[in-house]
Every structure is written in structure tokens, then in C-alpha cells.
Structure 1
């Protein structure tokens, strides 16, 4: 590198070789000068730069590469810790705290009960409870669910009619949802029973649970809700205990609430007795037990398998029910409002129901037999035996029931009473009419056992002798129900037998218009001119004796005219036949264009808006499930089988779509407050397939004419060939269809005679009717259930609800019409609820 002098003063006028040397030197000088300048500037910068202070100094150090790697690692670690904590708090911890609760009971045999066991604070109770709790805990701590088991709590020790001590207890498991199946109700019960079963000997029902003698037949374990556990636990402020220490002494029960409570009353009676609870009145808001309810248990804990009875509606007429042992639990749930329960309970002796009965020689009523504890509701377990004897071997015993029928047992269990008559087993069923059961034996033994899961309605039957060779007098006809009716009343259009056995397979009666003999009842005042001379339609408003085929006015008098209701003519003297007739008169609003491919229900067409203003679409959990019809501003009518399963019976899952032509275009969507299923509904036969639905709020009158009630037919209502009948709904358009139509469908069908209906299906109930066409091309299908079959009176009259879509063999099959609930058989039942 040169000096400053060499850089600034180069030599002039030298030779070329020297010039080359100078050029090279210049280059070197130039390079050296740049490097030197850079070093100088760097030194100057170092002298003038200020040192960083505070956060700036820290930031500079952190920007150092080794420090940056440490920072990134630390940040990642903190994020992982935070995420894990969140997962623990919101997922894993929640999973681990998913409590599963059970209520159970069992009998400890060979242990003497002492009165101190009734007091949970006594030393005797605490000592025995701790011993039993230790045994129960050890059973589950040594089982496959040991890690999930948390604790057992002994709730009550009570005396038992079978001796020993009856134990009521709670069990709590802490279960992640992924392992919830490991503590199912059946699994928990099986662990307990297996522990006892291994020690049983000599066919005894008593085994040993870690040294504790336990009756295996008494073990019952039910899953319960957390609310059941918390509201019945030791810390609950609304649990009361009452004791009936003297048989026959009435202990009053009065519960009042104005702010809403969930309370429990535990009843206990002296050993060897039962408890009879009498409900005098119960003032609540009806809601299908969703809000207000009283549940009576045959135990001291709220166990599903021990429900005796549930009250979901107000009670104004006193009734009673009986337990199967000396304990009972009343579980009240009352929302805000003035809610009142009044009643009492008492200890009663176990009834020994065994009678020797001798009938009289005459076929007159000799006496009566009753269900055990009559008129109280029958408990799930009871028995009674009657030994009859008639005056002669040619005489048998006839049992005349008011609302009960006996039929031979099939493969299904007897749910409403088990009967053994001369070694033949029968099942009882409640019906809405009288029956007669005949036993062709002069000394039969009749054994009855209660077989309902809950308390059952009581029954009574009168008994008499009858001639085995001639059950009915010569002038009478023997019905399939066992009743005897006059032969002159056969094929008169009136169901005298209560099962239509006197009205089927009847030939078409002659009109006899010109003769002197009276006309057949089928032709008299049915709204059609069957005789050219008009003889059949004269004097129709004259009062006559009452029957099911004659219209009854509100005054109680009856007239010959069958279809007097809402026909525009005042037929009754009190004009009651034209009252409440704002129904069944649609006014079509507008036409719609049928979407291509959606023109069939089964052989039907698209409806137009306002054509069927009573049609309702019932949605369960947001999806179309059934149909219904509008009866009034706050009542609908549908089929019972739509609500037969436990979850389907909860009104909170249902909504009613009114004034709707196309799915999703309802003019009004209403919530359901309660569902009233007919008390005699039979899920096997679909008999009494009818239900009522009450809306939470009435639909507004401003929706007229798009929403309107359909007319209810009186019991005398007759459908003639001049009536036009249609079935409507949003159900499938064929048996194999997979897509529901969006537009309301309609199909015109014909009402068939009961004779034709029975030819297709066999013994259909008189509360059913068949409608369709012989080819099967027009029919209701799945999704139409509960919907209306309506018929219009001749001459453009009002529309009446004749049937409710119930059941059938497939959809649209030849010679297999649809089966509908016959509405006019239930007119009185309907008005008893909606009036």
C-alpha cells in the first residue's frame, strides 16, 4: 500500500514501460485506498455509536441466533402447556367427571329389623349402613369396573313383609364417555347378582355377598338421573318421612306449592301390611308429566322398575292405589303456580282372596266378583281364586264383565291380567264395552293374578248360571262377545254385539218401499231418497227411542235423522244440531302447479292451498312423522300408534305445522303441551288407535280460512254412496318409495262395508273401518298415519272426519284396503277431553 503522497502526485512524461508500471501501481493504490477507507469509517462509527440500554440491550441480545433458538423452544413449550391445560379442563376433566348413577334395593335375610333402623341419625342405622356399604363397595372394587366405581350410599333400611331388612342404596360411577357401556344397567346388576349366585345352595334364593345373606330375587338396580340422586340424597331439603304404625289409621298428606318444588315423601307402614294411598284432589297444570307430575313408587327410591302410578293431569274424583309391600315413595314435581295435593295413606292387611261361590238355579245374576283391593287400583302383584259350584251338572258359570274381556293366551305375555280356568290360560284386556265369558263346567276354579307392570284399573264381574247346551234363549242370537241379543236386531245396522258379529255377513236388506211393514233402519232418514215415494225420508225429526243409529240432541231426546249435525237445517227442538258448526267448510285460495314427478300419494294428486284447512303435519325432532287434524283452536286429533313408544310420548319433541300446502311453508307452527292416548289402546291389534294433542297456544283466528277445524261426526253419522271421501297427507307415494312428496297429496277412496273389510283382514275391530279401491291404486301409506279420512255430505255439504289413518298390509295392494280408526265410535270420548 502507498502513502498519501504516492496517491496524490504521480510522475509525468515517463517512457511506456514506466507508464505500465505506474498503471499497475495505480491499481494497487486504488484497492488499498478503498480498504483503508472502510476501516477508517468503521473506527469512526465505533467511536460515535451509543451503547443500548434497558429493553433495547435485551432485545439486541435476544436477536443473537443462539438466544433466538432458546426463545422459540420456550414459546413452543408454553403453547403446548396451555393447550394441554385447556384439553384437560374442557375435555379430559369433563370426561372423567361424567357421573353415572344407579338406585338399587335388596333384602338382607336372617337379620332382625329393629325400629332404630328407620332413623338415619341413629348409631344402629349408621353401623348397619356402614357394614352393608362396605360389602357393596368391595363387590364392585373387585369387579371389571373397579376403576370406574366411586361410592355406594345406603339411603334407607326398612322392615320387609318377607322378613329381614330391605336395603335401599345409591351407587355412583365416574365414567369417561368412551367407556360408558361398561357400566350399563344390565352390567351393574349382573355383577351384583353373580356375586350372590355363586354361593347359593339347595335351590334357595338366599346367597352370601361376602358373608352378608342376600335374597337374589329381591335385587333390583335401575339407572337414574343425577337430579334423582341429588334431590333424594341426604343433603336434600325436601324429603319427608311418614310412618303408619297402626293398621287402619289414616295419615293425612297435604302438599302445597306456589314457587315450584321437587319434593319426595317416603311412606312406611308396620311389617306385614301394605300401604293404600288415597288421592282426594291434585291441582296441577296438565303437561304429560313434563312439568307437573306425581310419580308413586313401590319402593323408597325413584326406581323406574318400581313405578306404581303416574299422575299427569288434575284429579277431582277421589281414587286409591295399593303397594305390594309396606313402603312407598311419592315424588312430586310442581312448577310455579298454586299447586295442591290432598290425600292420605293407611296401613292395610294383605288381602287373602279366596272364595267359595254357589250360583242360583235361575240364570239371573247371583252376585259379583271383584279385582283384589277393589275399588282401588290393582297392584302389580296380587292374586285371587274363586271356586264356583252350580246347582246342576248341565249348568255352567257365566261371568259378565263391564269393561273387560278374556281371550286365550298366545305367545305374548298377559299385560292386563293372567287367568287360569280349569287349567286353560287366558289373558284379560280392558275394553270399552260389556262382555260375557262362559265356563262350561258346573264346578270350575277360576284363578286370577295381576300381571301389569304398574297399577291397573280395577274390574268387577257379575256371575250367574247358564244352560251349557243352550247359552242364549231361543229368541236370541249369541254374539262373539258372549252377549245375547234378540234375533230381530240382527242386521239392523246397529252394533248390538259390541263386536259387529250381529252385523257382518248380512245380505242387503230389501227396501220394501211400497209395503206396510216398516222400512229397514239402514234406509230410514239417512239423507238419501231410497224410495221413489220418499217414504224413507219423511218424519225424520220426530222424536223416538234413542240408539246409536239415531241422532241425540243436547236435550237428551233423539230423532230419526242420522246426519242431522251441521246440515244447515234445525232438526232438534233446542237447535243443538246446528251449534258449533264453524267447521268442515274449506274455501280454496289458489291453484298451484304440480311439480313434475310429485303427483301421487298412492294414486293421488297434488292439493291446492286452502283445500284441506284441517290437515296438520306432525314433526318429531324436526322431521315429518305423522299427520293430524284440527278439532278446535287448541286441540288436534291423530293416531295413538304415533306416540306409542316412550320417547315418542314426550310432547316436547313434537311440533304441529298448520295451514301448510308444501312442507316448510306452514302458516303456523305450534308446540304440543300434552298428548292424550286412549286408555284402551292396544299396540298389538291397533284397537282404539286414537289420540288427542293439546297445543300450548291456540292458533290465531287470523289464519282463517287456511286453518279450520274439521267437523266431528255424531255416533249416528252414516256414510252413504253419495258421500265423497278423501284421504290426505304427505306420506310416501308407494310402498317402495324413498322420497317423501313436498306438496300435500289427496286421493279419493270409497268406504267399504265391514263384511268386505273382514274378508280382507279377518277379525277387525268395530272401531275400525276399511277404505280404498279394490285395485289398490289409491291408498294411504307410511307418513300418513294419524291423518284424516274426510267425507263430504251430498250437495256440497260440510266435511266430517270419518276415519284416522291407522294401519294396513303394505300400501296400495289389491284387495287390501287401508284400515282407519272409526271416529264416530269415539265422539263422546273426544268431547270428554276437549270440552
Structure 2
């Protein structure tokens, strides 16, 4: 009974407020000014006026905030720090011991002078507005005199202008400043008033982390010094965790070089793929001065610096050594190999700068000099190519050296030749050695022997016996006849291949007693392609072990076949038809192919990872069980990339790489993900057995079809035929024993750009397992008539593969 209800509208409330305000203003005319102000203030904070004030304040705050954001993100460019590591040689300054200490008065005085010169140069250049500062990191002695200066340069570059500051242009500013003052063919000019050796100027782009971690205040920095040549300085370093980079700056007395001997090195396997040890021929982490870089465990080797300095860093890479060597060598007649010559500082790694000269002499003008190399070969120099693994001059004839997986013999048809060797690589290379002796100029091989391309002499009965006696198969070239008549047996290429090449069937008789094909433990069997053929031929069944591979189970077809689906004669694959096929994506883009070898390992082509930016496993992703691009059954991260140590980027020899997955792919993905079988060294598919190349590469040469670049969405397949080594060599030069050719005469079926690293799979027998015969490597265009594709020959590299994956 005491409750009353009033329904009020906004209009009703406002009318009451207006009446109250009107009554206050007009009825109380004799109030004091102070009283009127108080009443007015209380009136303003009544409900409607409070709303107006709050809304106005909010609108004002929003306007101010929006304006500030527009100024930051639109009107004002955000600046990024860009860092460069540099090195120059000041020619007129004598090195004193105080320069080794960055806090000494002498160091600070010279450093301030050089920093001022560098600043004046860049403040007067086209990048003056972007230049921030130069910081001298180290002063060191060198074997050319003067003082070697190691410095940092920092630029503040707006994001929109970041491409305008590159190491080539930053270095060109210094070189141009010195170039104008060069006189009388000397390499020393003036950087303003500072005499600088123009050949010593080197600028490399760097990371901010390199700049901060190598500063004098770094928590993990050491600077040992060897005061006398031959002094041994022990190094023991246990770097802390948490992503800290440790650096050791090694220096030694003038006139010497630093030899770094690694006796123990271990990085525990983990997800930290960035863990690495890098050695530089500099006191700063400069990529162009990389001596060696390791991740995980490594083979122990000695490293040598160019000067009396060297830097070890736990995250980077670097370059090499200067030395000279010469000797006079006398050979003996009829005594075989009587001595050895060695690479500079052997057995240390080969430096980048070195010169060696050997003067040979034989006891008779009818004798020449024979050099037997281990894992090294000399070939005539191509006038248009650069020698990347050693430059040789033999009596005014030029040769290039390269590393191979076998021994070679190099013969010099002169009784007293002069042999000069120069280092020519940007990175430290493996050492070499050669045994020397004399040979008869008129008859290099004894009677009844065959001269191999490797320089070896093998007995004539070993020619065309199906075995690689020359180590480069030169004894097996041009043997493509079945030899069905006469006393000689048929060539092993035709024996027991399931096809009768002889009219009397001679090549298919006694197929378990032909050429040696498989080694059991403790015994041998004579059977072709006994590996994983489903028949246990060895008593211990070793020929059928680890054979869970190469048996695909296609389940469905995607789309319909048409000319638009073709990639150089290919067609759409079925799901599960090629379960070992892998797509490799670099920074999100499909770049190469690969094949599954096991739950942990993939195999691909070395040239996919040859450049420095491509060698970082963190930028790669492996797409397994993928039929249509972007629809992988499993995406795996790469933990480690192993490129064959003999890979030659100029010839694509040893074009093979292994990729270790960070985690095994799930077994539940079978049969859509499955390994391909590895062939034995003697594996030979029958001539009627199909071989197929697969990939997502371009459909035609140049990657264009109808004027536009289009990659197929569905995995493509194309059937090709293997060519004999002799036919392959007729098409291309040079073709090595680690290469094979496959295609069709018309060129209608072929691999192309984007298929690199992918598989060439062949069946050993009808309904049998599929073996990885080749890896897409190189070719002359795509789909050209009479120009087949060239593949890495896997059967020649199986031992190297097993060394890593087992």
C-alpha cells in the first residue's frame, strides 16, 4: 500500500530540468556571484549535461589517438637498423702491441681517427641521410704491413628504402673514394687523408645479433694471443645456453698464421638447428671470409688463417690462408711411385690463397711424370669457367682440379715439367696428396692392358665385363652388343634381364651363375638384381632385409587427363601411386622435389641447397603424401641438410643431398607415404621395364605455356627410357659415372624446372618393387628432341647414402 509507481520519459525528465534551471535563473535575482557559480556548476553536472561532457571527452581522445597513429604509420616511416661488417688495411701505420687492447689510449686514439674518416666519407655520399655511425671493433697486425682494421657500420634505413643500402654499394663508396687517388699502379690510395689498400676493402652485410654479441661487453667473448710462432694456446669453451653466441678472437705474432686444431667438438642433437661452429679468416663474422662451418658432429681438421688472426663463432661461416711452397723433385726409372707431393699445410684444410711450384726431373728424356691423386682429378681448363677447387699450370697448359670419390692418374708427357698450383676457392677445401713416379712416354700401359680415362691401366679382359674397373666406367663404354657369337660371353648388361637378346637364348641361360651381383655375408651368389626380389637367395636372407619399400597402392585418380594437364608429356598421377614423392617448399614456395628413404631421411639434389641462403634447413618444409599442391598429408621440418662433399656446382657431379627430418613421419600415413627402394651398385632394370619421372615442375621449357607461367596443381608423371652410358656421352659433355640419361627420342616426355631433386623410379621386374634409379639433376632445356634429361645415378652413391642414414 505504501508503494507508488511513476513512469517517466526522457522528454518529461528534460522538462523538469528546464523548469528547475529557468526558476533558478529568473526568480532569484538577488543572489551573490559566488552562490550563482555554485548553482550553475551543480546544474551542469545533472544527468543530460554529464552525458554531453563525457561524449565530448571521448570524441576528443579518439581524434587525438587516430591522428597519432596516422602520423606513426602513414606520415612517418619506421626506421630499421642495417648493419655491415668491414675490413680495411691502413698502410702507413705501424702496429704496436697496445692496439690489441680496445681500452688502451693508443687504440682509442687511432680508432677515433678512423671512425671520423669513415663518417666523413659516408656523410658526403648518396647515403648520408641514412648513415648513423662507424665503430672500430679490432686493430690487428697482418703479414702485408700496416694495421688491419675491423669495423662495424650502422645505418638507419626506412623500410621503404631498405633495398637502397646493400653491401655492394656500401663497399663501392669506400673503393671509389680510394680509386681516384691511386697512382703508379699501386694498390694503396687515400681515403680522405688515410692511406688505405684498396684490395683490402671488404664489406659484408651482417645481423644485429652479430653486432651486439661481438662488442666488448659481450658475456661470451675471449681474445687469446700467441706471442711466438709455434706457441700452443689451449682453448676450452662450454658456451652457456639461452641462445648466447660465443666468440673467440685468435691472434698471433706478425709474420705468422693461426692454425686452429679441433680435437673435440660436439653439439648435442636437439631442435636448435642454429647451433653451429664457424671459423672466419677475420675478427668479425664476415660471410666472405668463412673458413669452415659445422653443425652437429664434424670430422676433425686443422684450419689456417690468411694472417695472424682468426675468429671462432658459434653461429656463422668464413674463408682461408696465404702460403707459399716449392720444391725440386727427382723421379726414378722403373721404380713405380717413389714419393709424394702435398697440398699446402697438409693435412690441414686447403687455404683460399696459396701458391706451390714443383720442378720435376726424370733420369731419361724418354720418361714422363706420373701423378697418382687420391680423390682428386685434373681436367683441361674451360676458358669460360672458373677453377673452384684449384688452378693448375703444367708447362703453360691450364688445368682445373676437382674432388672425386676415387683415385686418378695424371700423366705429364715431358721429362722435366714445371707444375704450379694455386688455391682458388672462396672457402677452405679438403687437402690433397699425390704419389709421383715416371712412365714410358711411348707406352703408358704395359702390353695387354687398357688405358682408362682415369689414367689407370687395367687388363684387357676386364674391358666390357660389366664391372667398373676404371672407377669411371670408361672400360664399359661402347660395349652395347649382346656378343651372341664367339668365345666371349654376352655383355652383363644383357644377361638375365628377362629379354632374349640372342637368337639361341644364350644371354638368358644359367641366370643364377652369371656375373657377380650380390654379396651375402660370408658367401657370394651369382644373380642379377637379387636385392628385394622376393626370393631369399642368401642363407641368412640378407638380400631380403629392409625391403619395406617400393610397393605403391594407387587408390584414386584426380581430374581427367587433357593436354592442359601435361608437364612435358606428363599426366596426372593417382593418389598413392608415388608414395615416396616429396615436395620441398622454401619460404613457402614449392622449390624442389625429394624422395622418402626412411622415416627420418629424404634424398634430393645438391643444387637445390647450393646457395648460402638455401642451405639453412629452417627455411624448408617437406610436404609428404601430397598429390595436389597445398594438400599434403604431413608437413615436416628439416633438421639437417647433408650435401655431398664432392658436389661440383659447375658440372653437377655428385648432385645429391640428404635431408634429415626433425621428427619421423607417422607410420599411420602408410600407404600414402612410403620409402622408395635404394638400388645396389650393380642394379640394372630390364630394357622392357618402365621408368617414370614425377614432379610438380613446369610444363614446358622456360616455365611458360600460352605466354603465362603456370605450375600444375596435381603431381605429374612421365614415362622415359634409360640410355646407355655411351649414348649419354654422345648427347652431352661432360657426363660422369655419377650421371645417367633418360628420355624419349622426340623429347615429348621429360623433366623440367621445378622437378629438381625428384625421383626417377624404375621397376626391376614386372609387378616388382620400384627402385630410385635417378634424381632429377640437369639438362639442355626441357623436352628437346634427342636431348634427354640428365639424372644423378643413385646406384653409384648408395655406399655414401648408407654411411649417413644408418
- What range describes the TM-score normalised by the shorter chain of this pair? 0.7 to 0.9
Determine if contact 2:280/2:291 at 8 Å carries over to the other structure. yes
The structure having more radius of gyration, on CA atoms, is 1
Work out the CA distance in 1 between the residues paired with 2:480 and 2:721. 20
Unaligned runs of 5+ in 2: 1-21, 30-35
Counterpart secondary structure, 2:434: strand
Distance 1:289 1:371, change over 3 A: farther
Distance 1:126 1:189, change over 3 A: same
Determine if contact 2:281/2:306 at 8 Å carries over to the other structure. yes
Work out the CA distance in 2 between the residues paired with 1:635 and 1:61. 74
Determine if contact 2:181/2:190 at 8 Å carries over to the other structure. yes
Match of 2:210 among 218, 228, 244: 228
Q: Does 1:455 align with 2:422?
A: no
Aligned to 1:681: 647
TM-score by length of 1: 0.85
Determine if contact 1:620/1:654 at 8 Å carries over to the other structure. yes
Aligned to 2:220: 238
Distance 1:297 1:286, change over 3 A: farther
Distance 1:509 1:449, change over 3 A: same
The structural deviation recorded for 1:500 is: 3.0
1:551-607, Cα deviation, whole Å (9 max, x unpaired): 233x36543223111112222343211111111112233455526555534333332
Determine if contact 1:366/1:464 at 8 Å carries over to the other structure. yes
Aligned to 2:464: 491
Work out the CA distance in 1 between the residues paired with 2:505 and 2:84. 77
Distance 1:394 1:288, change over 3 A: farther
Aligned to 2:41: 54
1:6-63, Cα deviation, whole Å (9 max, x unpaired): xxxxxxxxxxxxxxxxxxxxxxxxxxxxxxxxxxxxx999967999722755999999
Aligned to 1:390: 362
Equivalent runs, 1:524-563 vs 2, <5 Å: 524=495, 538=510, 540=512, 550-553=517-520, 555=521, 557-563=523-529
Counterpart secondary structure, 1:146: coil
Counterpart secondary structure, 1:367: strand
Match of 2:295 among 312, 316, 323: 312
Aligned to 1:753: 724
Unaligned runs of 5+ in 1: 1-42, 335-347
Determine if contact 2:582/2:758 at 8 Å carries over to the other structure. yes
Distance 1:498 1:210, change over 3 A: same
Match of 1:107 among 89, 110, 124: 89
Aligned to 2:257: 274
Distance 1:721 1:118, change over 3 A: same
Moved more, 103-112 or 223-232: 103-112
Match of 1:95 among 67, 74, 78: 78
Distance 1:131 1:486, change over 3 A: same
Counterpart secondary structure, 1:213: strand
1:620-658, Cα deviation, whole Å (9 max, x unpaired): 232322221110001111122222233332222222221
Distance 1:819 1:288, change over 3 A: farther
Match of 1:707 among 673, 691, 703: 673
Distance 1:390 1:55, change over 3 A: farther
Match of 2:347 among 375, 390, 393: 375
Aligned to 1:502: 475
Equivalent runs, 1:764-803 vs 2, <5 Å: 764-803=735-774
Equivalent runs, 1:192-207 vs 2, <5 Å: 192-207=174-189
The structural deviation recorded for 1:826 is: 0.6
Aligned to 2:155: 173
Aligned to 2:118: 136
Work out the CA distance in 2 between the residues paired with 1:561 and 1:44. 120
Distance 1:523 1:201, change over 3 A: closer
Determine if contact 2:723/2:740 at 8 Å carries over to the other structure. yes
The structural deviation recorded for 1:328 is: 0.5
Counterpart secondary structure, 1:251: coil
Q: CA RMSD in A?
A: 3.3
Aligned to 1:616: 582
Match of 1:584 among 541, 550, 558: 550
The structural deviation recorded for 1:447 is: 0.7
Work out the CA distance in 2 between the residues paired with 1:210 and 1:604. 64
The structural deviation recorded for 1:432 is: 1.6
Aligned to 2:711: 740
Aligned to 1:6: none
The structural deviation recorded for 1:243 is: 0.7
Distance 1:670 1:114, change over 3 A: same
Work out the CA distance in 1 between the residues paired with 2:433 and 2:23. 121
Aligned to 2:190: 208
Determine if contact 1:730/1:742 at 8 Å carries over to the other structure. yes
Distance 1:182 1:350, change over 3 A: closer
Aligned to 1:185: 167
Aligned to 1:405: 377
Work out the CA distance in 2 between the residues paired with 1:795 and 1:197. 70
Q: Does 1:605 align with 2:571?
A: yes
Work out the CA distance in 2 between the residues paired with 1:205 and 1:795. 70
Moved more, 731-740 or 185-194: 731-740
TM-score by length of 2: 0.87
Match of 1:444 among 406, 414, 417: 417
The structural deviation recorded for 1:115 is: 1.4
Work out the CA distance in 1 between the residues paired with 2:741 and 2:321. 51
Number of aligned positions between the proteins: 764
Distance 1:832 1:288, change over 3 A: farther
Determine if contact 1:141/1:149 at 8 Å carries over to the other structure. yes
The structural deviation recorded for 1:828 is: 0.5
Equivalent runs, 1:26-65 vs 2, <5 Å: 53-54=40-41, 56=43
1:266-308, Cα deviation, whole Å (9 max, x unpaired): 0011111111111122211569994111111101111122111
Moved more, 152-161 or 369-378: 152-161
Equivalent runs, 1:279-358 vs 2, <5 Å: 279-285=262-268, 290-315=273-298, 317-333=299-315, 352-358=324-330
Aligned to 1:8: none
